[in-house]
Amino acid sequence: MNVPKIQQTRLFQPGRIGCIDIANRIVMAPLTRCRADEAAGDVPGSDINVEYYRQRSGAGLIVSEGTQVSPRGKGYMATPGIYSDAQVEGWKAITHAVHQAGSKMLAQIWHVGRISHPELTGGLQPFAPSALAPEGVVAYTHQGKRDIPVPLAMSAEQIAEVVGEFRRAAANAMRAGFDGVEIHGANGYLIDQFLRDGTNRRDDAYGGSVAARCRFALEIVDAVVAEIGAARVGIRLSPLTPFNAISDSHPQATFEHLIEQLDRRGVAFIHMIEGATGGSRDLPGFDYAAARKSFRGAYIANNGYDRTLAIDAVESGRADAVAFGRAFLANPDLPSRLRRGAPLNQPDPQSFYTPGPAGYTDYPALDLDEQAAEA
């Protein structure tokens, strides 16, 4: 593989996603950390939340952890929301710190659908396109592990309500100082549940054909675009992942249609999980290269990228930017390490979702003198 000189490598050079100028093509992927203030109403913005994102502001673009659009959209303990004034104020402290450090930030707006439990939502029953519980998936609550109940199949009125919640979340994101939003359409959560024929058994305007199953996703996109403009909107997709018991019999047809429609709407980017989320990249059934060619916005590649793969993907034009997840957990200065070819800290899975700074803000950066010499 022919890797150009680092100072000429596009991965480390400025770029543009929609109307957002970024200092480099390295994206911090959304990472659930379960450190919002539940007692205050799932509010982010504590000192450690601010410091966590500030530390990682060497990324050209940061995508926030998934932030639920409503109380019923919550699927995990201590995840932040973006539907209340207190949550908006909490996010303001984070976006201000990120901007002061020279990066840009998107809010990932999220509804988990059936991947939840009433103990996490104040007693509300989970929503889904169809009344099908996710086989083999459990919810983690303050009372311990719980089997996920059969969800409520959403009515047309409830669908419209959730579309409105996404629109409100986008407006709140702009109030909170974000540069735009990423709609979470991946990993077996609500939008993905509507897209797939394994979870969507509806026989109305939102189920059956590929176009009907894509309708919910596109109504959300249209609502968010109407609120903040297409140049500040993207969506995360995972055509092949089996995560959260999701499946589709013809992912190529499903996601080919969806991406064609996204392209017509002129959204800023698609953020593509290539292969199984957190697993193999080599799953058959979807042509990512064709998707990249058919979409005129930015293509952000994700899943299993290392330094060499990322440099090659951006240099060759297969991607406009590359998102890193777990590597950013343990390496707050990941872009500097990638630029220098420095070794990476390894993340501690035991601290991914635990309260407090351990495994969150205490991973060491490169020696500051070495970084200064590099600059």
Q: CB burial class (10 A; 0-12, 13-18, 19+) of residue 202?
A: middle
> Smallest Cα–Cα separation from 54: which of 333, 371, 344?
333
Angle at which helix 156-175 crosses helix 85-100, to 10 degrees, equals 40
**Bridge partners for 15 per DSSP:** 22
> For residue 45, what are its two tokens?
């913005």
How far is 187 from 179, CA to CA, in rounded Å? 24
Which helix (H) or strand (E) segment is 46 a member of? none
- φ/ψ (deg, to 5) at 220: -65, -45
Set 189, 206, 305, 363: catalytic member? 189
Tell me whether strands 233-237 and 298-302 are parallel, antiparallel or unpaired. Answer: unpaired
- End-to-end alpha carbon distance in the chain: 27
Could you tell me which residues come within 8 angstroms of residue 167 by beta carbon, excluding any fewer than 6 positions away? 223, 224, 226, 227
Q: Give the 3-state secondary structure percentages of the chain, helix then strand then coil, rounded to 5.
A: 35, 15, 45
**Contact (CB, 8 A) for 81 and 37:** no
305 is catalytic: no
**Contact (CB, 8 A) for 139 and 146:** yes
The single residue listed with the structure tokens 């929503």 is: 127
Residues carrying an active site annotation: 189
